[in-house]
Chain A
Amino acid sequence: MKKIWLIAGSSLVIALAMAALLVVHPTLARGEETKGSGAEVKVDNFTFGPDTLTVPVNSTVTWVNKDDIPHVIASNDGLFKSKALDTDQKYSYTFTKAGTYPYYCSIHPKMVGKIVVQ
């Protein structure tokens, strides 16, 4: 993000656009709570970013795989499971009930994360 902000700093319009983007995609700022209905988890270098994401009820969370290796998003209790996501592929799930949803990559089980729905 640092790089993007440096570029954005050169233009007020772009900077404002980036600020707006951060509201729509609050997960870009790691660890922040979301304010919109959509949120993203970046799968990068065998980690989930952020590893804990807090969203309101009825939020759709989208995972996007930025690795050169496929990953599979799977909740620990079997509630949701993606197909194998190749590079840049996405998977979304909508959380309609409050609770904590631990998940992992079912082919790289050391990769773990959590969605907190409030």
Chain B
Amino acid sequence: MAKTRLFDPNPNGFIEHDHNHDGINRLGFLKCMAWAGTGALCLVEGGVLKSFALGRQMASGAKSHKVGGFTFVQISDSHMGFNKPANPDVIGTLKAAVDKVNALPHQPEFILHTGDISHLSNPEEFDTVDQILKATNKEIFFVPGEHDVLNDDGKMFRERYGKNSKGLGWYSFDKNGLHFIGLVNVMNLKAGGLGPLGNEQLVRLEDDVRHLKSSTPIVVFVHIPLWTIYPEWGWGTEDSAQALSYLKRFGSVTVLNGHIHQTMQKVKGNVTFHTAFSTAFVQPAPGKADGPGPMKVPAGQLRSLLGITDVKYIQGRHALALVDSSLA
């Protein structure tokens, strides 16, 4: 699948676009996409986004930015149980994602899964994913996708993955000085609408961040994007503006989501929005097909369009570096 790139990898292996100078970041829009065989690293420093192409020299360049800190990984949209032509082997590709995580040079401290763990909310599908992810030997935090709450309003999901969650499955926690917030926007969908967070969750969110210092880096993880990518396909959240208004005073807010099975990034003010690869199948670029259904790509290309996101926190800089790596 051809993907639009808003910046090219420098063949010398190292580029740095300082969007503070060219105004792109201030315009508030930037797409940062990964593509076959390489990747893009986006380093957010106090709202200023710098992008790099990933390469051998780049790796050493990135290291020079590292002053302590830690990394975690986001995986998304495993769709265990899916067996259609777009990927007849979602077990194989999830295992490949696990191998990718285990091969990372800086081992992540934990994993976020941003939903659609299962395809049909069957217990066996959740069991299979749990079994495969065990091989990472990492703590994993989940939020549900709509495929995980199909027939019981999320009851089974919360029993398995949300024991300490509140309401529909909302929770937050602190790790290494960062504040993580898991939100649910896949339930109580209304005809014609977008994914809702709902009033109860919004109240909890406002209350949750009230006591935090503005310098605390915030990471929100949620299934459906909190920025409106393509409302015609339901790729947005109805009341996200309200949620984001509670996060305005923070210097660094990173919103990680899945749902659309392709990587995309946007920076708006203090907030970086990032959607992750799926580990299961590809969906078309917004509006580039009659519908958002699974897209069959040539077998040799599939793994270059599936993947994981590696997130690095650099201490003292309030910076989160997001690196999408394909499974190829």
Contacts and interface: CB of A to CB of B under 8 A. Distances in A.
Question: Do A and B truly interact?
Answer: yes
A72 to B, nearest CB: 7
Interface string B64-86: 00000000000000000010111
Nearest to B84: A68
Contacts of A83: 150-151
Contacts of A2: none
A46 B191 contact: no
B189 interface: yes
B194 A84 contact: no
A87 interface: yes
Give the interface centre of A67, A68, A86, A106 by most chain B CB atoms within 10 Å: A68
B119 A45 contact: no
A76 interface: yes
Give the interface centre of B85, B121, B290, B291 by most chain A CB atoms within 10 Å: B291
A22 to B, nearest CB: 25
Contact of B294 (A68, A108, A112): A68
Contacts of B192: 104, 109-110, 112
B193 A109 contact: yes
Contact of B146 (A45, A76, A102, A107): A107
Contacts of A112: 191-192
Contacts of B84: 68, 87
Interface string A64-95: 00011110100010000001101100000000
Nearest to A83: B151
A58 interface: no
A67 B328 CA distance: 28
Given A107-B146, A109-B234, A110-B232, A46 B189 contact: no
A38 to B, nearest CB: 25
A45 B147 CA distance: 17
B193 A69 contact: no
A109 B190 contact: yes
Contacts of B85: 68
B291 A45 contact: yes
B230 to A, nearest CB: 10
Which range holds the interface residue count of chain B? 20 to 34
Given A68-B86, A84-B121, A84-B151, A102 B191 contact: yes
A45 B151 contact: no
Interface of A is mostly: loop
A60 interface: no
Contacts of B194: 109
A47 interface: yes
A1 B193 CA distance: 32
Contact of A76 (B191, B231, B232, B290): B191
Given A47-B291, A68-B294, A107 B189 contact: yes
A69 B190 CA distance: 19
B189 A109 contact: yes
Nearest to B189: A109
B78 to A, nearest CB: 15
Give the interface centre of B84, B150, B193 by most chain A CB atoms within 10 Å: B150
Contact of B293 (A45, A76, A84): A45
A55 to B, nearest CB: 20
A104 B150 contact: no
Contacts of B161: none
29 contacts: A45-B290, A45-B293, A46-B292, A47-B291, A67-B293, A68-B82, A68-B293, A70-B119, A70-B120, A70-B147, A83-B151, A84-B150, A87-B84, A103-B191, A104-B191, A104-B192, A107-B146, A107-B150, A107-B186, A108-B146, A109-B189, A109-B190, A109-B191, A109-B194, A109-B234, A110-B232, A110-B234, A112-B191, A112-B192
Interface of A: 45-47, 67-70, 72, 76, 83-84, 86-87, 102-104, 106-110, 112
Given A67-B293, A69-B293, A112-B192, 5 more contacts: A46-B292, A70-B119, A70-B150, A84-B151, A109-B189
